[in-house]
Structure 1
């Protein structure tokens, strides 16, 4: 499979890389890391990264703005997106070929070629593996930093169970490029005043159900009062995760027409609950596209209590 992907990359003059909406460090790290690797290996090719901008992660890199015509005869690579609805910029189907490159459960197969490895810590780790299997692709300081960001993001700084020996070996390859790790962490965990104040609000208002399920409801008016967007609030999903006895926790964030759901776990498998509410993800870190009432959020809390 990896060789098929490498062959397709070498055969196309234009390559357009997508990832999921509301990108996290792995989505952007894998997308921009792969783009950097390909630009360095194939300077004659047109290589683009597309999708919406995430202001909190803009330090990782900028997106390209391209016309529909750029997709003509292009190879499209979609990183870190389990299903098509969550792909940022739905023009991905305009290309001549589509590759799915992902580490989430393959519940919605799509594309002409799929490389899905649920044992990988992150899609960024898979990109490192792709480089390992290529005679033409190499790592640089810039690409290594982007892939390091993705691995760090999806392993929780190497604290989550998805951190395997292979993960650390591949991370070592990135560190060999002498990346500026301290500068990266300073940017990743930088909080402005409004986010710091919202963090204090969350710590004061989250609830514990049955001494094992943490619940935070961020209503639209609260976000507006702090001047924080729904996307930005995702930075706080683990802010009370260290509370003793907590097994699962959930953030409900009210948007214009729905309530976004962010689920986390310290053991119980939660992606099944996410799937029941238009979502999915990893066994211990999942999200749901929407709940449509506060009554529905209570259903989700009840499900978490039953499995925790």
Structure 2
């Protein structure tokens, strides 16, 4: 499959790369690293990475802004996005051919070509493997900036190598990437340093979360709380994994209230929770998933399901 993707890439003069809405380091890492990789090895091609910019990821990169006409005859590649509803920028359908590269379960089989590897820790890890094939067959070179972005994507999606998705191949890829010239300390500052107000919000999360005797936990961040701490919903989302430090916790849900919906962020240390996300119109990995709730009554149903899977585990 990797060889087939490289062959298709070689056939197009214009390549446009998309990723999912509400991006994380792996979304930016896989998408924009792929752009940098292709620009390095195909300087005659026009390569773009599109989507709405998340200011919290400014330490990584900035996406491109392009006109509709650029899509005519272009190859479109979507990275790190399980289903079409989550693709950022609906123009992904306007190209001549569509490739999906992803590590989430392949529930939505979109694209003319699909490379889906659920055993990969991240889509950034997959892009590194694509580079390795290109290096052997096409003498590809990996620019330092692409290495930085791929390393960030791997670190982000493995929770600093703590998640069970981390494998030998993950460590091998990370080990190869740190040989390139980029400042890891500066990268980690961008990924993990928080302003004081968000640290205070984190304190609120640890003080106010609820956990039952079976290790099922929840915290509800109402709009009033976000306003009190001068935090955006995107900033609050950065705290979702923090409850994993709590002893005895099995699975948890963080509800983040927005103007038109309630974001549902599910995490687990063992019980499979992406099925719950699917029940509420979302999806994701077995131990990390997301969805949306229309009301706090619907949020109650999510909590009920979390409690059920923890009780049966």
| TM over 0.5, shorter chain | yes
Matched, 1:181 2:184: yes
Matches within 5 A, 1:109-124: 109-124=109-124
- Say which of 225, 230, 239 aligns to 1:222: 225
Normalised by the length of structure 1, the TM-score is: 0.97
Q: Tell me how far apart the structure 2 counterparts of residues 265 and 75 of structure 1 sit (CA, whole Å).
A: 37
CA contact (8 A) 1:209 1:215 kept: no
Other-structure match for 2:253: 250
Other-structure match for 2:294: 292
Matches within 5 A, 1:1-308: 1-134=1-134, 135-288=138-291, 290-308=292-310
CA contact (8 A) 2:15 2:75 kept: yes
In structure 1, the residue corresponding to 2:244 is in which secondary structure? coil
Q: Which runs of 5+ in 1 are unaligned?
A: none
Deviation at 1:138, TM superposition (A): 2.0
Aligned alpha-carbon RMSD (Å) = 1.0
Q: Tell me how far apart the structure 1 counterparts of residues 126 and 140 of structure 2 sit (CA, whole Å).
A: 14
In structure 1, the residue corresponding to 2:180 is in which secondary structure? coil
Q: Deviations over 1:225-258 (max 9, x none)?
A: 2221111111111222211110001100111121
Normalised by the length of structure 2, the TM-score is: 0.96
CA contact (8 A) 2:214 2:307 kept: no
Count of residue pairs brought into register by the alignment: 307
Q: Which runs of 5+ in 2 are unaligned?
A: none
